Structure 1
Amino acid sequence: MIRQIAHRGPDALAVARLPNAPVVMAHCRLSIIGTEDGAQPIHQTDDILVVNGEIYNHEDLRAILGDSAFETASDSETILHLFRSGASRWISKLDGMFAFVLATRDRIIAARDPLGIKPLYMARLGEGVAFASELKAFDGVPVTSVEFIPPGGLYDTRDGWRQWYRTPHGAAEAEEGLDVEHTAKELRLVLEEAVAKWMVADVEVGSFLSGGLDSSIIAAIAQKVRQETGRGPLRTFAVGLEGAPDLAAARAVAEHIGSNHREWVFTADDLAEALPHVIYHLESADVDLVRSAIPTLFAARLAREDVKAVLTGEGADELFAGYTYHHGYVDDPRALADELTRSLGTMHNINLQRVDRITMSESLEARTPFLDRELIDFAQSIPAELKLRKTDPATVESTGPTTEKWILRKACADLLPTDLVWRKKAQFDEGSGTVEALQVALRKLLGTDRPVDREQEAALYERILREQFIDADRILENAGSWTDERVAV
C-alpha cells in the first residue's frame, strides 16, 4: 500500500508495528518541518501516529503542552501530545491542513482538517480497518466499503464518528451602519496573517502565479513577508501555451512585486503525453477536473525543480463569489451566501482533490492560505452582497455591471496594478490555453480529424483510468467529480 503512494514523500519510507496490538503503520515522508528528526511513524510508548500535512500553530502548542514532552522538532508530534492531554475537544486546537491516524493498544482515531485539504480514506480489511491518503493505495488489496473521512470529521473506534468542525454559515446582507472600508482593511490583515502562517517551513516555499487575481494576491503578500523577514525574493511559477494570457499576466505581476519568476511553455503534444499521468494520480475521469489538472501538473513539475512547497489561490472563489455562475445570485444575497457555504463543503473532492493529488504526484506540497481557519471564519462573516456587487462601470472599482469578489479586490487594490485587480476572471485551464490545445491532443489520441465532443472526451478519460487500475470500478465509485449545479445556473 505505501509503495503505491510513495510519490507523496520521497525523502523517507518507513513501516512500524505497535507491539502487542494488531496495528501496522507506514509513512512516506516529504520533509518540510523538523527535517532532521521528524521521521514517521511517530512511535512513543504504546502510541503510534502517522500524519500528512502541516500544523501551523505547533510552536504555540509546544509552549502550552511543555516542550520537554517532545522528542522531535516535528510539527506532527503535537497531535500525539494534544491527544494525551485528555481534553475533550483537543483536535479543535490544531490549526493547519492535516489528515492523521493515531493508534493506542486498544483504540484507533483518524481525522481530517476542516475543509479536507489533505485526503484520508478508510476501508474494511477483513474484520479490521485500513486507512490511506489515496485510493490507489487500496488497488489490488482485498478491502471493502471504501469511504472518505469527511472534512472536519473524526472516526474513533471507541466513540464512533464526530464532526469536530462545521463551516460557519455565510452572512447575506450588510447590517445597517456596517463600515465597508473597515471591513476591507480587516480582511486584508486577516489575509496577511494567513499567508505568513502558511509560509512556515524549514525549507523554501514558492508560489504558483497564474496572473489571475487570487494567485497574484497570495504571491504579492508572500513577497512582502519574505522582504520583511530579510529573505530573498519569492520564487513564482507560471505555465501556459505560447502566447497564453496567463503567461503575460503572470510576467507582469512578477515584475510588479519583484519575485524570482520562472515560466514553462507547453504544447499540445505535452498534453497528450501527460493525460495518463494526470488521470492516474487525479483518481478521477471527470472532464472538468482532468482539464484543470493538466496545467496544475506542469506548474508542479516546474516548481519542484526549485522548492518543496508552494502557495496557491484555491478557495478564494468559494469564499468571495468568484465563479461566473455566481452572477445568477446577484439579486439574492441570502441564496448566494447559502451557495458559497455549500460549495466550501464540496471542495475536498473537487478542486482540493485536484491540487493535492497532482502536486503530490510530483512530491510537491501545495498550501492554500485562503482556506486558513481564521480567514474562513472572517470571510463567512462578510455579507454576500459585498462579495458579488452591482457596480457602476464608469468607476474604477468595477469589472462591469456586476463585480465578483468585490470586497477582496478592494482589500488588496494597492498590492497590484489596477487593471489586474479589476479585470474579469478566467479559469486556469482557459487562461493557460489548455482548452484549445487539448482539442488538438484529443484528436491525436483518438486518431481523428473531427472535433472531439465532451462525451467522447469523457469516454477516453475513463478508458485511460481503467487501463491503469486493477479495481477501476472502486476508483470510479469514489472519484471526485464536478457534480454540482453550477453548470446549470
Structure 2
Amino acid sequence: MAKYHHCKDEPLHALYNNVEKLFPDLFMLFFLLHIHAYFWILFDNAITKHLMTYRRTGCLLSRDLDSSLVAVTLVKQLREAQTFAIGMEDSPNSLDARRVANHIGSEHHEVFFNSEEGIQVLDEVLFSLETYDITTVHASVDRYLIPKYICKNTDSMVTFSGKGSDELTQDQTTAAHSLELTVPFLDHQFTSYYLSLPPEMRIPENGIEKHLRDIFEDSDLILKEILW
C-alpha cells in the first residue's frame, strides 16, 4: 500500500538542510578538526593562565604522554622552564624523561633514590598524607621526595604536573614543602569541554589521549616513541 505524506512527517528535502545527514563522513571530519583545535586552545590556555607569576616555574616529567605534553607546552611558552624526573638510576622512566628533556631543551634535573631512602621518609609521607592507605602511601613516596629536592636544590616555586584526578593526593606531598602544584588536565574549562563530548568519544580506546595523539601526530614537538 502506498504511504502518503503526513503533515507530521519530515519532508524529503529536509535531507539537504542537514550537513551531517547529507555528508556524514565530511561532517565527522570537520567535527574532529573542531574538537582537536578546541582541545589545543583550552589546553594551552590551562597552562598560560598559571604563568602569570614572577616565580620560577618547573614541570614534573616522566615517560608518559601527559607530562610530556605539559612540559613541551610549558617550554614553548616559558623557554626557561625546569623539568624534574624521579626514579631509580637508569630506569626506563628516567631514561625516557631525559630524552624528552633533551628534545624540548629544558633545564633537566634527575632525582634518584633507592628503597632504603624511601623507607626513611615513610613517617614524613604518612604525616603529610594523613592516611595509612597502602596504595596511596606506596604511590606517594616519590611524590614526596621530588618536591623536597626541588625546594632544596632549585629556585622553582611552581610545578606543573601532567596527571589528573588520580593525582589529587600529590597536592598534599608538594604542599608539605611549600611547593605549588598546577594540574592543567584538571582545568575546569578543559574538563568541561571534554565531558561535553559524545560518550562514544570518551571511552578508553578513543579517550582524551587519542585526541591528544591526533593533535600532535604531525608535529615534531613530541618524540614519536613517547607519543605512541
TM-score per shorter chain, which class? 0.7 to 0.9
Partner of 2:127: 280
Check whether the contact 2:201–2:207 (CA below 8 A) recurs between aligned residues.
Answer: no
Check 1:187–1:403 CA distance in 2 against 1; reply closer, same or farther (3 A cut).
closer
Partner of 2:180: 365
Check 1:299–1:197 CA distance in 2 against 1; reply closer, same or farther (3 A cut).
same
- For the residues of structure 1 that align with 2:178 and 2:160, how far apart are their CA atoms? 14
Partner of 2:157: 308
SS of 1:187 mapped into structure 2: helix
One-letter identity of the residue aligned with 1:191: F
One-letter identity of the residue aligned with 1:369: P
Deviations 1:132-189 (A, max 9, x none): xxxxxxxxxxxxxxxxxxxxxxxxxxxxxxxxxxxxxxxxxxx963421231122011
Q: Which has the higher contact order (CA 8 A, sep 6+)?
A: 2
- For the residues of structure 2 that align with 1:293 and 1:268, how far apart are their CA atoms? 13
One-letter identity of the residue aligned with 2:224: T
Partner of 2:167: 351
One-letter identity of the residue aligned with 2:171: D
Displacement after TM superposition at 1:251 (Å): 0.4
One-letter identity of the residue aligned with 2:70: I
Q: Does 1:374 align with 2:221?
A: no
Superposition TM-score, scaled by structure 2 size: 0.80
Percent identity between matched residues is 27
Q: List runs of 5+ in structure 2 lacking aligned partners.
A: 1-20
Partner of 1:408: 212
One-letter identity of the residue aligned with 1:295: D
Superposed CA RMSD in Å reads 2.2
Superposition TM-score, scaled by structure 1 size: 0.39
Deviations 1:335-379 (A, max 9, x none): xxxxxxxxxxxx4xx631x21110011111111111112111211
- For the residues of structure 1 that align with 2:187 and 2:87, how far apart are their CA atoms? 28
Q: Identify the structure with the greater strand proportion.
A: 1
- For the residues of structure 2 that align with 1:298 and 1:383, how far apart are their CA atoms? 40
Q: List runs of 5+ in structure 1 lacking aligned partners.
A: 1-174, 228-232, 316-346, 391-401, 423-489
Partner of 2:76: 224
Partner of 2:93: 246
Check whether the contact 2:56–2:158 (CA below 8 A) recurs between aligned residues.
Answer: yes
Partner of 2:44: 192
How many residues are paired up? 199
- For the residues of structure 1 that align with 2:199 and 2:131, how far apart are their CA atoms? 32
Check whether the contact 1:297–1:358 (CA below 8 A) recurs between aligned residues.
Answer: yes
Check 1:389–1:313 CA distance in 2 against 1; reply closer, same or farther (3 A cut).
closer
One-letter identity of the residue aligned with 2:225: D
Displacement after TM superposition at 1:299 (Å): 1.6
Displacement after TM superposition at 1:281 (Å): 0.5
Q: Which residues in structure 2 correspond to 1:249-328 (within 5 Å)?
A: 249-304=96-151, 305-306=153-154, 307-315=156-164
Q: Which residues in structure 2 correspond to 1:12-27 (within 5 Å)?
A: none
- For the residues of structure 2 that align with 1:419 and 1:215, how far apart are their CA atoms? 14
Check 1:278–1:289 CA distance in 2 against 1; reply closer, same or farther (3 A cut).
same
SS of 1:405 mapped into structure 2: helix
- For the residues of structure 2 that align with 1:309 and 1:369, how far apart are their CA atoms? 13
Check 1:245–1:388 CA distance in 2 against 1; reply closer, same or farther (3 A cut).
farther
Check whether the contact 1:386–1:406 (CA below 8 A) recurs between aligned residues.
Answer: no
SS of 1:310 mapped into structure 2: strand
Partner of 2:67: 215
Q: Identify the structure with the greater helix proportion.
A: 2
Partner of 1:10: none
